[in-house]
Structure 1
Amino acid sequence: MSESGGIHLVAHLVDPANPPSRKAPLVWAVGAAIPWLALVVAQVVWFVLDSGRAWLHVAAAVATVIGIVVFVVVVPIWRYRVHRWEISPQAVYTRSGWLVQERRIAPVSRVQTVDTYRGPLDRLFGLANVTVTTASSAGAVHIVALDSDVADRIVAQLTDIAAIGAEDAT
């Protein structure tokens, strides 16, 4: 501690540098568009069955268009600008979110498992997600929307790093 009561940091922590795949915003947009499409269909059916109260239909349509613009256009671009990851011999470091942002640092010595997940849209676009489970009450660290070959390399890299320092991981 310094005389002013502050803590001196030994190393300056730099934001993680690696972004998700360039396809990530498109995958996130398509994933967000699916429920909005269902809402549009429901509103069309509602209008056909009850064409009275035009003001209510217009208000619902305007709210839906605003929701589509925000969640299908703005949020995927925003998420892409925020999401980052980095792997060093000492730690896995991620930054994620859009409205609420989270930074996670997981020491490699605490890594227990490394998994990949590929949902239907991920497979369609050739993406994968990596989950790094650690001995932490905060839960796993997720590196999302990676090109499949990058995800496979990360899994291999983390497995190699964790094997070198396999003394703890509890």
Structure 2
Amino acid sequence: MGAPVQMAEPAYPPSRSAPLVWALGAAIPWLAAVFAQLIWFVLDPRMPWLHAAVGAATVLGVLVSVVVVPIWRYRVHRWEISPQAVFTRSGWLVQERRIAPISRVQTVDTYRGPLDRLFGLSNVTVTTASSAGAVRIVALDAPVADRVVAQLTDIAALGGHDAT
């Protein structure tokens, strides 16, 4: 049995555009809530204290989910690929660190939602022979994601193992 592999924290952050994309994605549902509150106020202006309380709660929710969370996520999210494994660290309130051995990689996929496409980002999903689920590397610049997919494909092919 060989020496254990020493694992450092993953080194690479998401794209610098990631916080903006995450903030815009979080803002969309809040816009619906603000619109609903405005309609409520126009249709039923009674109890201004209740409208003010709901409005204050909405402002607090917007500040946390649109400003604080994207910045915190960017500070936490990291990824790295070595010849032995794919490493990710993600989350904001609850943080998760995932390490997937290359020998267990089954598929490598990319995903680009509408905001991702607008900002030139892509997400990479590495499916492994694990019940814990796929490893996701989120909010990469599209050319970086393409290189990651090519690198993982090359490394997995060199191993020549069946990951099942």
The superposition leaves residues 107-164 of structure 1 with CA deviations (integer Å, 9 ceiling, x where unpaired) of: 0000000000000000000000000000000000000000000000000000000001
Q: Quote the residue 2:151 is aligned against.
A: 157
**Structure 1 residues not aligned, in runs of 5+:** 1-8
Q: Quote the residue 1:26 is aligned against.
A: 20
Question: What TM-score do you get using the length of structure 2 for normalisation?
Answer: 0.97
Q: Quote the residue 1:91 is aligned against.
A: 85
- Separation (CA, whole Å) in 2 of partners of 1:54 and 1:81: 39
Aligned with 1:62 (options 46, 49, 56): 56
Q: Quote the residue 1:38 is aligned against.
A: 32
Trace 1:131-142 onto structure 2 (pairs within 5 A): 131-142=125-136
- Provide the secondary structure at the position in 2 that maps to 1:103: strand
Letter in structure 1 aligned against 2:125: T
- Provide the secondary structure at the position in 2 that maps to 1:36: helix
- Provide the secondary structure at the position in 1 that maps to 2:162: coil
Q: Quote the residue 1:3 is aligned against.
A: none
What is the Cα-based RMSD across aligned positions, in Å?
A: 1.0
Aligned with 1:105 (options 99, 105, 114): 99
**Structure 2 residues not aligned, in runs of 5+:** none
Q: 1:144 to 1:34 in 2, by over 3 A?
A: same
